[in-house]
Amino acid sequence: MKIGIIGLGLMGGSLGIALKSCDSARQIIGFDHNAGHCTQALELELVEQIAQSLDEIKSCDVIFLSIPVGGIIAVMQDMKDIPPNCTIIDMGSTKEKIVSSIPQEIRKNFVASHPMTGTEKFGPTAAIKDLYEDQVVVLCNLEESGSHQQKTASTLYREIGMNLVFMGAKEHDRHAAFISHMPHALSYALANTVMMQEDPKSITALAGGGFRDMSRIAKSSPHMWEDIFRQNKRNLLEALNHFNTELKRCQEMVEHEEWDELNQWMQDANKLHDIL
């Protein structure tokens, strides 16, 4: 298959590398509005060719949309004239608004997916070969896609080593708010809390593995995560409200020196890793 990738950052670039080893991929073409990204993607051999326009990408058998979620919604509106057997696969971190925005003319062509992987780095130079290997990809509302498109997306994701999970877009967005979007908000908050102190450099001199682990994702792209927070506002606010309740409980137990209760609260938290 001739495969097009729109968006040549971490996710799209890593996808290009992964697809090169797939039997299904005959040619891999990239497209990005950032000319620097296009140049880097070619130099790093993430793709074999750069398309000069969106129309050129439309000739591909498969088109991956690896761009911020707002961009996915915008690009979809310009793809109503794709060939009948073309498969469009979005890789956005939110799903409900994307699915509801798919033009009816190409609903069968479209597969909504979210590969649950990534790093805090971004841009073509962040691309890595095994980003997708043995990671989960969520396929949402798959029954609304055409049978050919269902098979194509499932085959390609399996060929790059991903484990398939199926759920509705609404369910996905609520789960993602707790497991992905809220942790990013907390990491940004932690980083800003330290940066607002009188001597952040002195504080970070004490930083060990725990702080580095918790603050690492605060290096993620603000442009991308602002877009995700906007698209999943309702679910993110619910998750943050639940977190604030737990944080308030911790504060009150420390304030009132309720050490036994605090210890039990921590033990309850330990149980999370029994199911991970």
The token duo for 266 is 């921590």
Residues 104 and 150 in one domain: yes
Identify whether the C-beta of residue 20 lies closer than 8 Å to the C-beta of residue 28. Answer: yes
User: If we measure between CA atoms, which residue out of 28, 47, 27, 23 comes closest to residue 37?
Assistant: 47
Where is the domain boundary, 121, 147, 167? Answer: 167
How far is residue 2's CA from residue 186's CA, in Å, rounded to a whole number? Answer: 40
Where is the domain boundary, 167, 187, 213? Answer: 167
How far is residue 68's CA from residue 221's CA, in Å, rounded to a whole number? Answer: 10
Question: What's 80's domain CATH number?
Answer: 3.40.50.720
**pLDDT per residue as tens digits for the range 129-141:** 899 999 999 999 9
Residues 34 and 51 in one domain: yes
How far is residue 169's CA from residue 97's CA, in Å, rounded to a whole number? Answer: 8
User: If we measure between CA atoms, which residue out of 13, 250, 193 comes closest to residue 119?
Assistant: 13
The token duo for 179 is 């497991």
Residues 131 and 258 in one domain: no
Q: Hunting for tokens 């069968």 — which residue is that?
A: 108
Angle at 230 between CA 227 and CA 236, to 5 degrees: 115
Residues 208 and 150 in one domain: no
Counting the structural domains of the chain, the total is 2
Question: What's 265's domain CATH number?
Answer: 1.10.3660.10
User: Given this model, what pLDDT does residue 221 score?
Assistant: 86
Residues 136 and 191 in one domain: no
Cross-strand bridge partners of residue 31: 6
Residues 153 and 238 in one domain: no
Residues 232 and 191 in one domain: yes
Residues 137 and 47 in one domain: yes
89: left (phi > 0), else alpha (psi -120 to 50), else beta?
A: beta
Q: Whole-prediction pTM value?
A: 0.86
**pLDDT per residue as tens digits for the range 17-53:** 999 888 888 899 999 999 999 999 999 999 999 999 9
Read off the amino acid at residue 39. Answer: T
User: Given this model, what pLDDT does residue 105 score?
Assistant: 95
Q: Which residues of the chain have pLDDT under 70?
A: none
Where is the domain boundary, 114, 149, 167? Answer: 167
User: Given this model, what pLDDT does residue 208 score?
Assistant: 72
Owning domain of residue 230: 172-275
